[in-house]
Chain A
């Protein structure tokens, strides 16, 4: 008898391995240790999250102008709103805020496209961000030309100052770092010695002491009448310091490139700069993106150290506002705000670097 082919329906997987229950068993309850960890974590979440949410959202005050609006016992975000101008613009004159806003807009306008692959003219935007924006921002913020009212740097502060410090640091430290790294590997003894001395000197001292020397000791050595700007001194200190770190990161990348690459380049008749620029550096820099971004993020956070030399960056302006006797205890709100602002920027930088790594991935990763 010829039977018809009959499909045997596969058994459904056991109910305990699929769906929500399966996920739970596999991820949370797979071993006695994991069961314990799950219970512990659940306890922590239940214990910590509701009070924090309650403080930060449900019983917080958002609307109002002064202390009297903060009555519900939760966070007093009114304080952040009332002093936001100080945290963002520092002492910048009120009627000139548009200049700072333009700088923010320019930064956003040139950087946001970098996050999207499909965006046209990305390279152009990138070049503008690195070369044109610093110049425009300098003219715009400092004023004194093109009919702009001059604004002295002692009026700069808050987020704007933090961004200026970090941006100048980042834009200047990478090229200087690359040059130092190449110099350190150079065959010319004078250049090599200078680069090694520079790197080891700046890497050997903490940033806080660099800033302190720049603001406390340097003025004593300069002749009277030669007081160059405190912000400039801090900026030079930060750039020198970070470029020394950057140089070592880049050197790590250079050493990972096999010798054959540069030998092949010179066999093709490429000059030193061409073989570096076209063959070695593109590969080396791609390898050390995580290290470079690490340095950038550290730099961004290190800018808060300028508060010890009396520059009111975002953290220092929060600190000077929370002691205001017109407000009750708002230090937690202030610090949470400052931390959140830093997180937004650092997280952004880190996401961008991951996207860049994926894009430039050419099978070198293991």
Chain B
């Protein structure tokens, strides 16, 4: 019996240590062979990855996947979306079940260094914020002493909130519920004065109110939540591709290349545009020369992707804010393609 236990334990350990290594086989080759990119998304997060009214996956995280598929396979539709819960997302990536993870995942030190994964950039800078009813007359989070706060249980939101109130010497009474639609119901019914969550989610929750304009999101952001696509560690070629597809979209916005004019801009006199849309950048990563052209033509530049999914003309109505380009007051910045 003892021998059997040891043998089993040995098997388990070997399987554990081997599988991340084994998973390092070239992802690009697998994707090309399959003719399909497998991308992990959420099971339903408005603006990021959610089934739209025609039952297609849509959102900014979904478009990030589609752009990679367009760059690698030449067709933004060749993506297989695998909905993942928060708990299983990293395993799915580590085990090779998915090629990339684009699921509203915060880039943190622990995740980056200890899970065998790499963050390939930031497609949305988020942060925890507060929403209040306008009639309360609150203009800043510093005036919230003694407030009751609706929040979702079991998230880092709880910790950030406690830190923030302690730091400013204020008191609050938490009203913890299980799901996001319960938080907004509690907020609407007046069970709490403020609602806290990631800002992007506050905007989508606000649309659930009978009169969305009666509530406002306060300017203070109390945590940093950079969200972006994730790949397995140890496959640098694939890491580079995912990273540079996102950079190409950001660069395209900066240079005024859009999904509509990408084809004409190919013959642009501006050398950096020509390098982005033609050139040998693709060849260096082992993909076609038209990688960026396809990604931009089929999915759009970063700005288009943002506006289509979460921008001011969508129900989410999120302003660019910190997600504007670096030369327009934000912090989205991409290294040059050359």
A225 contacts B85, C-beta separation under 8 Å = no
Tell me if A263 is interfacial: C-beta within 8 Å of chain B.
Answer: no
Chain B 171-194, CB-CB to A under 8 Å as 1, else 0, gives 000000000110011001000000
Nearest-CB residue, chain A, relative to B185: A329
Given the interface pairs A216-B87, A227-B95, the reply to whether A322 lies near B181 with Cβ below 8 Å is yes
B80 contacts A154, C-beta separation under 8 Å = yes
Among A36-44, A78-86, A236-244, which stretch is in contact with chain B?
A78-86
B180 contacts A309, C-beta separation under 8 Å = no
B19 contacts A320, C-beta separation under 8 Å = no
Q: Which of B19, B81, B184, B208 contacts A220 (CB 8 A)?
A: B19
Q: Which of A219, A220, A328 contacts B207 (CB 8 A)?
A: A328
Tell me if B50 is interfacial: C-beta within 8 Å of chain A.
Answer: yes
Tell me if B164 is interfacial: C-beta within 8 Å of chain A.
Answer: no
B207 contacts A325, C-beta separation under 8 Å = yes
In the complex, A165 Cα to B214 Cα: how many Å? 44
Query: B84 — which chain A residues lie within 8 A by C-beta?
Result: 310
Chain A 289-332, CB-CB to B under 8 Å as 1, else 0, gives 00000000000000000011111100011011111111111010
Q: Which of A152, A219, A223, A320 contacts B92 (CB 8 A)?
A: A219
A321 contacts B96, C-beta separation under 8 Å = no
Interface of A is mostly: helix
B184 contacts A329, C-beta separation under 8 Å = yes
In the complex, A320 Cα to B47 Cα: how many Å? 12
A316 contacts B12, C-beta separation under 8 Å = no
Interface size class of B (residues with CB under 8 A): 35 or more
Nearest-CB residue, chain A, relative to B21: A224
Query: A324 — which chain B residues lie within 8 A by C-beta?
Result: 46, 50, 52-53
Tell me if B7 is interfacial: C-beta within 8 Å of chain A.
Answer: no
Tell me if A91 is interfacial: C-beta within 8 Å of chain B.
Answer: yes
In the complex, A308 Cα to B88 Cα: how many Å? 9
A152 contacts B80, C-beta separation under 8 Å = yes
Give residues 85-110 of A contacting B (CB, 8 Å): 85-86, 89-91, 94
Chain A 196-226, CB-CB to B under 8 Å as 1, else 0, gives 0000000000000000100111011111110
Q: Which of A83, A152, A224, A230 contacts B96 (CB 8 A)?
A: A224
Tell me if B251 is interfacial: C-beta within 8 Å of chain A.
Answer: no
Tell me if B94 is interfacial: C-beta within 8 Å of chain A.
Answer: yes
Query: A310 — which chain B residues lie within 8 A by C-beta?
Result: 43, 82-85, 88
Given the interface pairs A320-B51, A323-B180, A329-B185, the reply to whether A224 lies near B46 with Cβ below 8 Å is no
A329 contacts B94, C-beta separation under 8 Å = no
Nearest-CB residue, chain B, relative to A223: B22
A328 contacts B210, C-beta separation under 8 Å = yes
Query: B314 — which chain A residues lie within 8 A by C-beta?
Result: 325
By a beta-carbon cutoff of 8 Å, the part of chain A in contact with chain B is 82-83, 85-86, 89-91, 94, 152, 154, 212, 215-217, 219-225, 227, 230, 307-312, 316-317, 319-329, 331
| New contact pairs (9) apart from A154-B80, A319-B44, CB-CB < 8 Å | A216-B88, A216-B91, A220-B16, A221-B12, A225-B25, A319-B43, A320-B50, A325-B46, A325-B204
